[in-house]
Amino acid sequence: MKIDQLTPRQIVNALDKYIIGQDKAKKMVAIALRNRWRRQQVKEDLREEIIPNNIILIGPTGVGKTEISRRLAKLSNAPFVKVEASKFTEVGYVGRDVESIIRDLLEISVQMVREEKTIAVEGKAHDHAIERMLDTLLPPITAKPKPVGEMGEEDKLELSHQRTREKLRAQLLEGKLDDRPVEIDVPADSTPMMQIFSPMGIEEMGLNIQEMFGGMMPKK
Amino acid sequence: MAEALKIFTQQEAQKLIDMEEVIRTAVARAQNSGIVFLDEIDKIAGASSKHGPDVSREGVQRDLLPVVEGTSVVTKYGMVKTDHILFVASGAFHVSKPSDLIPELQGRFPIRVELNSLSEQEFIQILTEPKNALIVQYKAMLETEGVELKFTDDAIAEIARTAAMVNARSENIGARRLHTIMSNLLEEILFEVPESDVKSLTVDKKKVQETLASVIEDEDLSRYIL
């Protein structure tokens, strides 16, 4: 279900499946969501001028304020962050922290896009993985084998090698080898236990330093 | 082998993904369709506290202002413009009012919607209607133990009534009250079920009243438990 095709009424209906009552609030967020889509369709020079109509939801706790927003984001496949405004009144607060909201939002956005792309290339990645597995199990003899048809007497070894490879491939694809052990090298997933403590407000720098070190550590 | 293949697939996927394109798309998406939910906005409204190490609330509002108004934030993926990010603020506004926010910030939140407190009738709907309703959840959980859990209609009504009553009597925590009540109600069942051989359990009004009676009667106790 893509948001592009959802009218405000359909958005409300979709929200109705999870949230009871609060029709007014649902209606307003549905309009806000549709407005964003409308904005995207507007001519470019005017598009920049259109600012979103931000919303204040007023009501006691536990009536669905957060739930409405969360469902809305899910529905529209939009990056979503929730922040407690009161956390900014805590001791140790520095002005710049407010911007961290946006950083979190972007982090989530990157994650979302990456996941989508991963799914998009899954089939291809699987093919590549099979090839690599075959290379691991049965390293090729020559760097560039000739096509099977052109092989002469002297390529007999190569030919049987190719056949074995095909056989293995079939077994691999059928999952027959799933339980067989195989040894491969895996790069260490994360930076080895290292925490960079940074003063508040320059958390961005802390992140970058951590990444830098991550790159320096040789991948096993 | 299956495991190894999975790892290879992941690594190959990594190689196939153009990280730069991912970041470009992600930045665009965050800018154009990102949603930021600012909870408890009422806590930063109102006069700034005069005592303690509290940070001035107005100061926080002033810090929020540029972000909500549209500014560029530096991130490790590059600049992000916040002009078109949708901000949804929420708050109970028990003590302060939306008009206690600094005018500039008020102006940035032109739409105000009031959500009403939930009634007993709505509690009944909340228990049963949504796709992820509590009763649906508990039923699914007990199904994994091979037990069919049933609620009679009057049991559900009784749960809703109790929730509304406790909400009225002590703190009103809205629909969350249903969680506490349900977990109290089903405590015994959830504990015992794996070791018993019942195939089907029905919760009726009597069961609800019996299980919850002792807790409800003692008002002080219910403050802590329900």
Here the tokens at position B72 are 């560029």
Q: Is A2 helix (H, G, I), strand (E, B) or coil?
A: coil
Mutation target vs B (from A16, A56, A183; most B CBs, 10 A cutoff): A56
**pTM strictly above 0.90:** no
Record: contact B90-A58, CB cut-off 8 A = yes
- Ranges in chain A, pLDDT < 70: 1-4, 90-96, 140-155, 186-220
Record: contact A122-B9, CB cut-off 8 A = yes
Q: What is the ipTM of this complex?
A: 0.78
- Band (B15; pLDDT cuts 50, 70, 90): confident
What's the confidence (pLDDT) of residue A146?
A: 60
Judged by average pLDDT, the poorest of A199-203, B146-150, B218-222 is A199-203
Q: Write out pLDDT tens, residues A171-193.
A: 878 777 777 777 777 665 544 44
What's the confidence (pLDDT) of residue A220?
A: 46
Q: Least CB-CB distance to A95: which of B38, B63, B93?
A: B63
B149 to chain A, closest Cα gap in Å:
22
Record: contact B86-A175, CB cut-off 8 A = no
Q: Write out pLDDT tens, residues B158-217.
A: 999 988 888 888 788 888 999 989 998 998 889 988 888 888 889 999 988 888 887 776
CA-closest candidate to residue B67, choices B38, B45, B96: B38
Q: Write out pLDDT tens, residues B27-62.
A: 998 998 899 999 888 888 765 444 444 557 777 888
Find chain A residues with C-beta within 8 A of B53's C-beta. Answer: 91
